Amino acid sequence: MKHFVTFEGIDGSGKSTISKHVYEKLKKKGYEVILTYEPTDSWIGKQVQKCIETGADPFITALTFTIDRFEHAKNIQNWLNEKKIVLCDRYAESTYAYQGVQLDSQIKDPIKWLKELTCNRIPIPDRTYIFVIEPKLSIIRIQNRKNLIPFERTSFLEKVHENYLKLAKGKQFLKIDATKTIEELVDICIKDILS
Is 123 within 8 Å of 80 (Cβ atoms)?
Answer: yes
Q: Which part of the chain contacts ligand TMP (CB under 6 A), choosing from 17-25, 93-101, 115-123, 171-179?
A: 93-101
Among 31, 70, 113, 151, binds ligand TMP (CB under 6 A): 151
Q: Which residues of 135-165 are buried (b: 16+ CB within 10 A; e: fewer)?
A: beebbeeeeeeeeeeeebeeebbebbbebbe
Among 4, 7, 23, 65, binds ligand TMP (CB under 6 A): 65
Under the binding rule (CB under 6 A), the answer on residue 94 touching ligand TMP is yes
What number of chain residues touch ligand TMP (CB under 6 A)? 12
Under the binding rule (CB under 6 A), the answer on residue 14 touching ligand TMP is no
Smallest separation, CB 95 to ligand TMP (Å): 4
Among 11, 45, 87, 138, binds ligand TMP (CB under 6 A): 11
Among 9, 12, 39, 58, binds ligand TMP (CB under 6 A): 39
Under the binding rule (CB under 6 A), the answer on residue 7 touching ligand TMP is no
Residue 152 forms beta bridges with which residues? Answer: none
- CA atoms of 120 and 150, how far apart (whole Å): 30
- CA atoms of 192 and 37, how far apart (whole Å): 20
Is 152 within 8 Å of 139 (Cβ atoms)?
Answer: yes
